[in-house]
Amino acid sequence: MIDRPEETKERRRYQIRGQAFSAPALDPGLYVVATPIGNLGDVTIRALDTLAAADVVACEDTRVTKKLLDRYGIAAKVSAYHEHSGPAAHRRILAALAGGQAIALASDAGTPLLSDPGAKLVAEARAAGHRVVPIPGPSSIAAALSAAGLATDAFLFLGFLPSKANQRRKRLAEFARLPATLVLFESPNRIGALLADAAEALGPKREAAVCRELTKLHETFDRGTLGELAARYADETVKGEIVLLVAPPGAAEPPCKSDVDAMLADALRVAGVKQAAEAVAGATGLSRRDLYQRALKLKGG
């Protein structure tokens, strides 16, 4: 069915505080749209234009996205697209792009592809020659870094860590000496366990911030050392979405000999002596020559 011009124009309208606007037509392509992480007022004008004018809005949870669309009077066609959608939904979007449609890709909150589905779709859309357009906007990562008071000149986004404690600690240890703020996502029921593991793997004196319910009514930034925060959240029940920031290691926190040996042992399981020494040197700033000699002894032992 082909829309009549008046139907298309009507469908491309949206409202802001009672004022009606018409969205300009979109060229064919995949539009990666950032949506609010909590406060619906954080949506951009360009995002509203895109959501209103798209032929289809592909989203994680249609119920969540419809709350945003309803807030701004957008009568868009929505289609579920998430990690469990399966190949059929994937093929439908690629076929729509091949047919010259404009598809908006939105996650439940924030910028798609950052701990959200869509990476494979974007890659295949580009490989097929379709236009992929970022519509930037809200991001919990940027929001947390901007207001927590920790270093922002260098940071590393790790997303959600493994659910098992030993795997989580091992993952954290890989970045223990990285001179950058670590950014992690965690659910409220596991934040206590994550903080305890982070205190063990990174050191209890590392500065950190638990950033919760960003842009929402009960937004909080809870600062302290990892040891302090681990104790604070050990038995505390919290709600809401959480971003954990961990400050870079201080200059006065050189790794102890046992930590270095453990890092070398881990590296030797998957690499040769030279490669292991180089990897640990890069992570710690220690002498590559000294680490090479230590790795030789560990390998011989």
CATH number at residue 214: 3.30.950.10
User: Which among 100, 105, 53, 99 has a CA at the least distance from the CA of 79?
Assistant: 105
Are residue 63 and residue 98 in the same domain, yes or no?
yes
Q: For residue 176, name the pLDDT band (cuts at 50, 70, 90).
A: very high
| 55 belongs to a structural domain | yes
| 211 belongs to a structural domain | yes
Are residue 164 and residue 175 in the same domain, yes or no?
yes
**Is this structure's pTM higher than 0.85?**
no
Least confident of 185-194, 211-220, 236-245, 264-273: 264-273
| 252 belongs to a structural domain | no
Domain end position, chosen among 88, 117, 138: 138
Asked if 163 and 187 touch (Cβ cutoff 8 Å), the reply is no
pLDDT at 301 over 50: yes
pLDDT of residue 126: 95
Give the separation between CA 111 and CA 122, rounded to whole angstroms. Answer: 13
pLDDT tens digits for 57-103?
Answer: 999 999 999 999 999 999 999 999 887 777 888 899 999 999 999 99
pLDDT tens digits for 243-299?
Answer: 999 999 984 455 677 888 888 888 888 888 888 888 887 666 677 788 888 888 888
Give the separation between CA 57 and CA 77, rounded to whole angstroms. Answer: 6
Instruction: For residue 9, give its domain range.
Output: 5-138
Are residue 180 and residue 215 in the same domain, yes or no?
yes
| 186 belongs to a structural domain | yes
Which comes out higher in pLDDT, residue 268 or 136? Answer: 136
pLDDT at 237 over 70: yes
Q: For residue 37, name the pLDDT band (cuts at 50, 70, 90).
A: very high
| 269 belongs to a structural domain | yes
User: Which among 279, 215, 228, 222 has a CA at the least distance from the CA of 37?
Assistant: 215
pLDDT tens digits for 100-113?
Answer: 999 999 999 999 98
Report, as an integer, the average pLDDT of 138-148: 95
Are residue 69 and residue 179 in the same domain, yes or no?
no
Are residue 170 and residue 193 in the same domain, yes or no?
yes
CA atoms within 13 A on the CB side of 153: 3
Are residue 145 and residue 199 in the same domain, yes or no?
yes
Domain end position, chosen among 121, 138, 155: 138
| 19 belongs to a structural domain | yes
Are residue 68 and residue 174 in the same domain, yes or no?
no
pLDDT of residue 261: 87
Are residue 224 and residue 293 in the same domain, yes or no?
no
Average predicted confidence (pLDDT) for the chain: 90
pLDDT of residue 8: 53
Domain count, the chain: 3
Give the separation between CA 53 and CA 102, rounded to whole angstroms. Answer: 8
Alpha-carbon dihedral angle through residues 80, 81, 84, 85, given to the nearest 10 degrees? 80
| 191 belongs to a structural domain | yes
pLDDT of residue 5: 43
Q: For residue 7, name the pLDDT band (cuts at 50, 70, 90).
A: very low
Are residue 106 and residue 184 in the same domain, yes or no?
no
